[in-house]
Amino acid sequence: MRYEAPGSLDAATRLLADAEGAARVLAGGTDLLIQMRGDIVEPELLVDIKNIDEMREIAEEQGRFRIGAAVTGMEIMEHEAFNAAWPGIVDGAKLIGSIQIRGRATLGGNLCNASPAADSVPALIAAGAVASVIGPDGRRSAPVEEIATGPGQTSLKTGEIVVSFDLPERPPRSGDAYLRFTPRTEMDIAVVGVGVNLTLDGSGVCSAARVSLGAVAERPLSVEEAAAALVGTRVDDDALAKLSKAASEACRPIDDKRGTKEFRIEVAGVLAERAARIALERAEQR
């Protein structure tokens, strides 16, 4: 296996385009190295993208954040301005693995590993994050919910790399939250994850909302029906009941060792309501 650590996106895309055998992008490696160890993937070329500045930065321009895909969980947790603007994304990043794992694991890797249970992804989807993707045909943008298509599968074409995530401008009175259910509080994988992001107008009425569910389908979902239950309301009990119902109805989970279908469907409704309450509280404080 050949290892390369290019310093530019150009060089990285060229390496991937010219690769003759299987090639993999190495970011934090917390999934990839385990897959390599288990001979699940056997790349002939590894392209380490951590020397590419754009992929390692958290940038803020006129209230909009751009996060490099190779930014780690710990770096996100330590970034004060980002915590203030997008606490729900930080909720998700904080729950990934241990401190050791968060010191390595990246947002881009969490997305491109394409686990349906990835903790940072529902929060990114709820935030309306857009992935900037570069490949042999140049650069394109794609909403985060369009990247993962199934367990371990993405819509990325051969040679494409997720470079960064663009977050929308954050209006005043906006709040987001991510909650997951796990039997343990640390070092566990989501049975259900829910991200909620909402904005209130000056009179306290919800003017925009996005809701995302993880671990209840083959990929993290953006659930428009659930978001619609909040828009135009004061996020009162009635609206939350509708949100909860819409979240449960959007689930198409599997039974596995972490939970049954029925349990996941019920918990998705409960967590959606709780996450919305936290997002509401955060919106009211900003």
Partner 1 sequence: MARYHITTTINGDEVDFLCESDQTLLSVLRDELVMTGTKEGCGTGDCGACSVTVDGRLMCSCLVLGVEVEGKRVETIEGMAEGEELHPLQRKFLEHAALQCGICTPGLLIASRALLERNPDPTETEIRYWLAGNLCRCTGYHKIVEAVADAAREMREV
* Separation of alpha carbons 29 and 46, rounded Å: 11
* Residue nearer to partner 1 on the CB measure, 29 or 214: 29
Rounded least distance, CB 186 to partner 1, Å? 4
* Residue nearer to partner 1 on the CB measure, 36 or 205: 36
Stretch that binds partner 1, among 24-32, 125-133, 232-240, 245-253 (CB under 8 A): 24-32
* Residue nearer to partner 1 on the CB measure, 118 or 243: 118
48-107 residues near partner 1, rule: CB under 8 A: 48, 50, 72, 74, 97-101, 103-104
> What is the size of the binding site for partner 1 (CB under 8 A)?
27
* Separation of alpha carbons 111 and 109, rounded Å: 5
How far is CA 244 from each of CA 52, 127, 185, 240, 241, rounded to the nearest angstrom? Answer: 42, 19, 23, 6, 5
Rounded least distance, CB 104 to partner 1, Å? 5
Rounded least distance, CB 162 to partner 1, Å? 20
* Residue nearer to partner 1 on the CB measure, 181 or 279: 181
Stretch that binds partner 1, among 30-38, 116-124, 136-144, 194-202 (CB under 8 A): 30-38
Rounded least distance, CB 29 to partner 1, Å? 6
Stretch that binds partner 1, among 26-34, 109-117, 196-204, 258-266 (CB under 8 A): 26-34
* Residue nearer to partner 1 on the CB measure, 17 or 33: 33
Q: Which of 3, 136, 149, 204 binds partner 1 (CB under 8 A)?
A: 3
40 touches partner 1 by CB under 8 A: no
170-209 residues near partner 1, rule: CB under 8 A: 185-187
DSSP the chain: -EEE--SSHHHHHHHHHH-SS-EEEESS-TTHHHHHHTTS---SEEEE-TT-HHHH-EEEETTEEEEETT-BHHHHHT-HHHHHH-HHHHHHHHTSS-HHHHTT-BHHHHHHTT-TT-SHHHHHHHHT-EEEEEETTEEEEEEGGGTEEETTEESPPTT-EEEEEEPPP--SSEEEEEEEE-SSSSS---SEEEEEEEEE-TTS-EEEEEEEEESSSSS-EE-HHHHHTTTTS---HHHHHHHHHHHHHH-----BTTB-HHHHHHHHHHHHHHHHHHHHHHHHH-
22 touches partner 1 by CB under 8 A: no
Q: Which of 8, 18, 34, 169 binds partner 1 (CB under 8 A)?
A: 34
Nearest alpha carbon to residue 66 among 193, 138, 167, 211 = 167
241 touches partner 1 by CB under 8 A: no
11 touches partner 1 by CB under 8 A: no
- Structure-block tokens of residue 241: 């009941």
* Residue nearer to partner 1 on the CB measure, 5 or 205: 5
* Residue nearer to partner 1 on the CB measure, 189 or 228: 189
Q: Let me know: does 198 contact 235? Beta carbons within 8 Å.
A: yes
Residues that bind partner 1 (CB under 8 A): 1-3, 5, 26, 28-30, 33-34, 36-37, 46, 48, 50, 72, 74, 97-101, 103-104, 185-187
